[in-house]
């Protein structure tokens, strides 16, 4: 724990006074998702042109950043993100936001071992409790490490931030330099679009592989949420949750009584997560709820932790897969769209769990500029980033079926993945596979 001296104990100041502590060339940290500051961000934007080369780390921006809107040429402020949401992607397309590659669960180690101390961190928190302690709310991730590694800690107190249960989610006053008042705006929500017919078909295939007592990690998107919806109406019992992101789908499944955590070897009876994004109903469910335990990302995402729960199941999306099983889940060529996140760590942790399974799911096709294209390809799009290597992929699922690639040769993989492609693209994929000898002539299985 980082303790402040008596001479530097917490002072309440205005957002403009807080922003005045920022000088040219500094590294700031805005935390992640709903912990990112707004009042401070607007105050810092008012200093555009006065300071320059200020670099800001963040993750999944949930509101437009005032500093970027005020500085379209990027002379004063530069943004760096550990994982892109839609707003980060838009700023990246404009050249104002840059990706920081990592396995998300390794972030605390990066801050401790490889990054210089942060000049100033600014984090949104709840109102203080009876003991004067602030709560980090539904985003923990690496925020404790950010506080420990910051020369100056500024908290933006926000009435709408729920206090949530979990180890190390409290911040003591003697860890803080300055406190500013945030606004009364409710926490930003993440929309939950209804699942498509393809989402539901993929979900049916995955749900059929989940057993009583399984411990789930559910990723973001329509397909994983559709799995939750199906499980909510299934006879499956005593599910556990050990996940990176907590979603509305998981909470809805919890409300059915099918999530008990009774079979977990660690954190029995608790829903474990490291950040939550969704509706206000999700945030309200977490408020002071001891059934949900928020933990540091180095714990939730560690394969060595994940594998301790038997029948661990990871369910994640990809955007493109080649005929050898390489999954590109975070870019469209050289255009970055999301991030590695915890996908690879959960794939590895679930596979190593006794009876564990990992699923990579995708729709077989997508539309781009009015043209239907296959997500299953012979060669990945030039510049695409491989998120999960072929050696790690276990189950692959599209609306046309499910295959397990573990133990399969390259020809067997190619044949199996062609069978998961949309029928309109199978013949072309097979021709390419034969031409490049992925499928030798005369070989059958």
Measured between alpha carbons, how far is 276 from 292 in angstroms, rounded to an integer?
A: 11
Q: How do strand 134-135 and strand 170-171 relate by DSSP bridges?
A: antiparallel
DSSP 169-206: -EE-GGG-SEEEE---PPPP----PPPPHHHHHHHHHH
Measured between alpha carbons, how far is 431 from 428 in angstroms, rounded to an integer?
A: 5
Measured between alpha carbons, how far is 124 from 422 in angstroms, rounded to an integer?
A: 46
Q: How do strand 320-322 and strand 376-377 relate by DSSP bridges?
A: parallel
Q: List, in sequence order, every residue forming a beta bridge with 54; answer none if it has no partner.
A: 77
Which of the following is catalytic: 244, 298, 330, 399? 244
Q: Where are the alpha helices (DSSP H) in 236-342?
A: 248-255, 280-286, 297-300, 303-306
Q: How many helices (H) and strands (E) does the chain have?
A: 15, 27
CA nearest to 156, candidates 250, 259, 53, 17: 17
Please report how the helices 197-207 and 222-232 are oriented relative to each other, as an axis angle in degrees rounded to 10. Answer: 60
Q: Where are the alpha helices (DSSP H) in 197-325?
A: 197-207, 222-232, 248-255, 280-286, 297-300, 303-306
Place of tokens 């029928």: 423
Measured between alpha carbons, how far is 368 from 348 in angstroms, rounded to an integer?
A: 32
- Is 244 a catalytic site residue? yes
For residue 403, what are the contacts with CB-CB under 8 A and spacing of at least 6? 395, 396, 416, 417, 419, 420
Measured between alpha carbons, how far is 341 from 103 in angstroms, rounded to an integer?
A: 6
The encoded tokens of residue 270 equal 């608790």
Strands (E), 304-400: 312-317, 320-322, 327-328, 331-332, 335-336, 357-361, 365-368, 371-374, 376-377, 395-398
Q: How do strand 331-332 and strand 371-374 relate by DSSP bridges?
A: unpaired
The encoded tokens of residue 395 equal 């189950």
Q: How do strand 365-368 and strand 327-328 relate by DSSP bridges?
A: unpaired
Q: Coil, strand or helix: which one is 362?
A: coil
Residues annotated as catalytic are 244
């Amino acid at each position: 724990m980082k303790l402040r001296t008596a001479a530097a104990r917490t002072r309440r100041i205005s957002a403009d006074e807080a922003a005045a502590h920022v000088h040219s060339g500094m590294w700031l940290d805005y935390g992640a998702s709903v912990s990112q500051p707004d009042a401070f961000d607007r105050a810092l934007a008012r200093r555009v042109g006065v300071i320059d080369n200020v670099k800001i780390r963040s993750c999944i921006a949930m509101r437009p950043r005032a500093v970027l809107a005020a500085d379209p040429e990027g002379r004063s402020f530069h943004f760096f993100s550990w994982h892109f949401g839609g707003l980060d992607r838009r700023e990246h397309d404009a050249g104002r936001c840059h990706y920081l590659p990592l396995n998300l669960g390794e972030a605390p180690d990066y801050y401790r071992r490889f990054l210089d101390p942060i000049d100033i961190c600014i984090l949104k928190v709840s109102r203080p409790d009876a003991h004067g302690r602030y709560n980090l709310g539904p985003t923990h991730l690496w925020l404790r490490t950010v506080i420990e590694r910051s020369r100056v800690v500024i908290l933006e107190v926000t009435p709408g931030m729920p206090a949530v249960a979990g180890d190390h989610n409290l911040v003591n006053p003697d860890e803080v330099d300055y406190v500013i008042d945030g606004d009364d705006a409710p926490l930003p929500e993440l929309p939950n679009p209804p699942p498509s017919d393809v989402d539901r078909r993929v979900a049916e295939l995955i749900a059929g592989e989940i057993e009583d007592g399984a411990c789930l990690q559910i990723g973001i998107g329509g397909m994983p949420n559709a799995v939750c919806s199906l499980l909510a109406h299934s006879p499956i019992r005593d599910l556990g949750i050990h996940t990176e992101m907590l979603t509305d789908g998981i909470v809805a499944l919890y409300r059915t009584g099918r999530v008990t955590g009774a079979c977990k070897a660690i954190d029995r009876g608790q829903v474990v997560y490291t950040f939550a994004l969704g509706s206000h109903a999700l945030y309200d469910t977490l408020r002071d709820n001891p059934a949900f335990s928020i933990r540091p990302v180095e714990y939730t995402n560690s394969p060595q932790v994940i594998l301790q729960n038997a029948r661990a199941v990871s369910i994640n999306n990809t955007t493109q897969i080649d005929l050898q099983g390489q999954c590109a889940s975070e870019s469209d060529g050289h255009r970055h769209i999301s991030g590695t996140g915890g996908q690879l760590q959960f794939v590895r942790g679930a596979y190593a769990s006794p009876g564990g399974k990992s699923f990579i799911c995708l729709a077989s096709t997508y539309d781009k500029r009015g043209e239907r294209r296959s997500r299953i390809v012979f060669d990945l799009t030039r510049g695409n980033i491989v998120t999960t290597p072929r050696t790690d992929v276990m189950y692959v699922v599209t609306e046309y079926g499910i295959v397990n690639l573990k133990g399969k040769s390259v020809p067997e993989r190619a044949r199996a993945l062609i069978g998961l492609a949309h029928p309109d693209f199978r013949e072309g994929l097979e021709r390419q596979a034969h031409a490049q000898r992925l499928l030798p002539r005369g070989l059958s299985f």
